[in-house]
Amino acid sequence: MNITKTLDAKGLACPMPIVRTKKTIDTLHSGEILEVQVTDKGALHDFTAWASAGGHTIVNQKEEAGVIFFYIQKA
């Protein structure tokens, strides 16, 4: 998987991870992948719903040491 850009949203509470993700993904081209790092557990539901609503695809997701990583492919 080729990551185009990484967004560090660790320590931010809802809705800021989504707000920053939207601003960042808007700078990418269709098909490119954004890695987002968050610590807010609410992001698990928020990112799934946000990606689906925007037509984006979460191609992978993992959690390591309390940090949740989302890999989002832009629609």
Model pLDDT, residue 58: 98
Per residue in 1-51, pLDDT (tens digit) is: 899 999 999 999 989 999 999 999 999 999 999 999 999 998 889 999 999
CATH of domain 5-73: 3.30.110.40
Active site residues per annotation: 14
Model pLDDT, residue 31: 98
pTM, entire model: 0.95
Q: What residues contact residue 74 under an 8 Å CB cut-off, 6+ apart?
A: 25, 28, 29, 30, 31, 32, 33, 34, 56
